[in-house]
């Protein structure tokens, strides 16, 4: 295809580190995928997605360039959607792996350029190429002392009819030299003020001050963070025998407040939803609703994992009735026996599992 003029827009995510455990890799992939989908959705249909390369989305819009106001509004819209999604994920997060704990460290920057592109058709895909795509991509590496900004090249600015914009950002002129390209001039503006203006999401964690009656307690020869990771992951809980059920059906790739799963046994199915989480330096508490509607069983069950030092921890469970319901004491006796057997199996599994907790 012949070369066409286009506005190139690249939102690029930063702040992710390399992870080594399977859990961290799985969770980081899910988090990144969710954020990239948020960026693409916020960009709308005006831009064609050329490709997703690592943590960056390369997109373009053919024809004359949009005004500075329009492009800044577009970038700010994507930026707000990105950070709103980050804050939502961080607020409901309970997982203590490196990926999930690093959510709040992630950042987003933008590169805007105008120039010639060529579209290459590969099967069902269309990829944009050409020198100006290379220039835009190279500009992601620069000496700007910030991880969150909008960078607009001189080539873009010289092709727009006006310099008006909705938000009065503080623009700084700069330039970078690149091998085989030469010097590229641009203006950039940091997005700190925009970030501060983004509202916090509505609180979804319940504050459960009264955990109810103690159900069980046992000491485990394992790091308390590793024990908690096993408790909060329905699949690990099930595989260790800690659930005391035959099968777990998990609906969420990452455990979080609001996540649901089913524990299936021959006689009934237990419906579980995570509703509360608290942590201190030495203790984690996860609370969940456990419901069997057919048996009028509506309870709040809590797991508290306490650090005893020297890779030892204490696991304590509590139970109470949900508001408007009573504890079915006869049924509780049956569940307590199942729980005791399940926790013994969980303890044995946790003490054999390799320790992966980090400081």
Neighbours of 13 (CB within 10 A): 21
Structure tokens at 242: 């800690």
User: What is the predicted pLDDT for the residue at 125?
Assistant: 78
Nearest to 13 by CA among 81, 98, 77, 106: 106
Rounded distance between C-alpha atoms, residue 113 and residue 136, angstroms: 6
| Residue pair 322/329 in contact by the 8 Å Cβ criterion | no
- Rg of the chain in Å (alpha carbons): 26
DSSP-derived secondary structure letter, 256: B
User: What is the predicted pLDDT for the residue at 203?
Assistant: 78
User: What is the predicted pLDDT for the residue at 188?
Assistant: 97
β-bridge mates for residue 128, sequence order: 119
β-bridge mates for residue 115, sequence order: 6
Whole-prediction pTM value? 0.89
Nearest to 48 by CA among 35, 29, 62: 62
Rounded distance between C-alpha atoms, residue 152 and residue 155, angstroms: 8
Rounded distance between C-alpha atoms, residue 133 and residue 136, angstroms: 5
Structure tokens at 240: 């260790």
Residue located via tokens 């099930």: 238
Nearest to 187 by CA among 76, 80, 68: 68
- Give the CATH architecture of domain 4-196: 2-Layer Sandwich (3.30)
Region at 296 (left for phi over 0; alpha for psi -120 to 50; beta for the rest): left
User: What is the predicted pLDDT for the residue at 359?
Assistant: 45
Structure tokens at 199: 């509202």
Domain ranges of the chain: 4-196, 213-352
DSSP-derived secondary structure letter, 93: B
User: What is the predicted pLDDT for the residue at 57?
Assistant: 96
Dihedral (CA of 163, 165, 161, 190) sign: positive
* Cα-based distances in Å from 225 to 16, 173, 212, 233: 22, 48, 24, 12
Rounded distance between C-alpha atoms, residue 112 and residue 109, angstroms: 10
Q: Residues in the chain with pLDDT < 50?
A: 358-359
* Helices marked H in the chain: 22-43, 68-92, 98-101, 131-138, 154-157, 192-196, 224-232, 234-239, 329-352
Select from 3.40.1190.20, 3.40.50.2300, 3.30.530.20, 3.40.640.10 the CATH code of 213-352. 3.30.530.20
Residue located via tokens 């700084």: 172
Residues in Cβ contact with 37 at an 8 Å cutoff, skipping those fewer than 6 apart = none
């Amino acid at each position: 295809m012949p070369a066409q003029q286009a506005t190139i827009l690249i939102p690029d995510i930063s702040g992710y580190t390399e992870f080594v455990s399977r859990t961290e890799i799985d969770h980081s992939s899910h988090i990144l995928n969710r954020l990239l989908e948020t960026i693409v959705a916020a960009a709308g249909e005006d831009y064609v997605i050329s490709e997703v390369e690592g943590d960056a989305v390369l997109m373009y819009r053919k024809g004359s360039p949009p005004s500075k106001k329009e492009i800044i509004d577009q970038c700010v819209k994507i930026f707000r959607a990105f950070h709103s999604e980050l804050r939502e994920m961080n607020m409901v997060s309970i997982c203590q792996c490196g990926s999930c704990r690093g959510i709040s460290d992630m950042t987003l920057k933008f590169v805007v350029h105008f120039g010639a592109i060529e579209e290459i058709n590969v099967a069902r895909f269309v990829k944009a190429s050409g020198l100006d795509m290379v220039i835009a991509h190279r500009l992601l590496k620069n000496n700007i002392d910030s991880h969150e900004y909008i960078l607009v090249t001189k080539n873009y600015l010289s092709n727009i009819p006006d310099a008006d914009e909705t938000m009065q950002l503080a623009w700084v002129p700069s330039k970078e030299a690149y091998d085989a390209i030469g010097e590229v001039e641009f203006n950039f503006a940091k997005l700190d003020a925009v970030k501060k203006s983004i509202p916090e999401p509505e609180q979804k964690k319940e504050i459960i001050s009264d955990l109810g009656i103690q159900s069980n307690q046992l000491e485990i020869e394992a790091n308390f963070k590793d024990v908690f990771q096993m408790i909060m992951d329905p699949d690990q809980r099930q595989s260790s025998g800690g659930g005391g059920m035959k099968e777990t059906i998990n609906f969420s790739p990452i455990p979080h407040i609001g996540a649901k799963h089913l524990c299936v046994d021959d006689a009934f199915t237990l419906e579980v939803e995570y509703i509360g989480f608290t942590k201190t330096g030495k203790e984690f508490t996860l609370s969940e609703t456990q419901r069997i509607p057919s048996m009028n069983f509506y309870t709040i069950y809590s797991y508290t994992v306490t650090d005893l030092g020297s890779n030892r921890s204490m696991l304590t469970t509590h139970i109470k009735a949900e508001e408007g319901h009573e504890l079915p004491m006869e049924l509780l006796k049956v569940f307590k026996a199942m729980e005791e057997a399940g926790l013994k199996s969980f303890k044995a599994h946790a003490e054999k599992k390799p320790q992966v907790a980090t400081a």
